[in-house]
């Protein structure tokens, strides 16, 4: 791609970017609501994608009130998704192996910056058999402020010894793209099930339909 400066580090979001987990997470959240006698709307469930657990709690509380049992809802959600993954394994996004192979051939470092807690993230990435392919894996519980704050991206860059100007972030959600923008790091948007507004898409360096297209950006 013209004017594409190769990075020294690529920082990946996890859910919805590398792992095709957001559809099952949506089903799990709406299932949790049903179990607790609350109808969680699809747009509310989608608005949780990519955000920190603190922000998710705020959104759910704002929509369903103080009496909605958040702890129980997240427990039901976790049990639902873990049961699914243990039976079916964690699904991956098309193009991820191709992109990782290309970055490794080019000697470009790779990091994960996910809102998911560190231990859960490691479990998912190990189940998908790609955890060993990253130099650094940062979970959402390792930073004070979750996405859309820039903290997790700046930590990933610092832990890899790389200046933000030499990084690129790959993200699927509004929260992640806003966090990348706040970190002053170029971001490649690869939208998943939660739609991105034109305003958010405009903040990305480029918008790609999948990771195959991202891999093509790094040359033949």
Is 159 an annotated catalytic residue? no
Strand ranges for 48-175 from DSSP E: 109-113, 136-138, 167-171
Copy the structure tokens of residue 137: 């894996």
Q: Which of 15, 151, 172, 192 is catalytic?
A: 15
Is 210 an annotated catalytic residue? no
Task: Classify residue 84 by burial, with Cβ atoms within 10 Å: 0-12, 13-18, 19+.
Answer: middle
Catalytic residues: 13, 15
């Amino acid at each position: 791609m013209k004017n594409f400066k190769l990075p020294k580090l690529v920082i990946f979001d996890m859910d919805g970017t590398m792992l095709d987990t957001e559809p099952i997470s949506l089903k799990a959240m709406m299932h949790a609501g049903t179990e607790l006698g609350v109808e969680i709307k699809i747009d509310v469930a989608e608005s949780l994608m990519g955000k920190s657990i603190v922000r998710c709690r705020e959104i759910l509380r704002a929509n369903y009130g103080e009496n909605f049992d958040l702890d129980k809802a997240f427990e039901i959600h976790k049990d639902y998704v873990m049961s699914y993954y243990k039976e079916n394994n964690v699904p991956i996004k098309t193009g991820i192996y191709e992109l990782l192979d290309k970055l490794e051939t080019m000697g470009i470092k790779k990091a994960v910056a996910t809102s998911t807690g560190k231990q859960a993230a490691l479990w998912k990435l190990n189940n998908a058999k790609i955890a060993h392919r990253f130099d650094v894996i940062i979970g959402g519980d390792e930073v004070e402020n979750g996405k859309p704050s820039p903290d997790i991206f700046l930590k990933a860059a610092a832990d890899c010894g790389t200046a933000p100007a030499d990084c690129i972030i790959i993200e699927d959600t509004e929260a992640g793209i806003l966090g990348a923008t706040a970190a002053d790091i170029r971001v490649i948007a690869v939208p998943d099930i939660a739609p991105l507004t034109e305003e958010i898409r405009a903040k990305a360096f480029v918008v790609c339909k999948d990771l195959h297209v991202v891999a093509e950006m790094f040359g033949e």
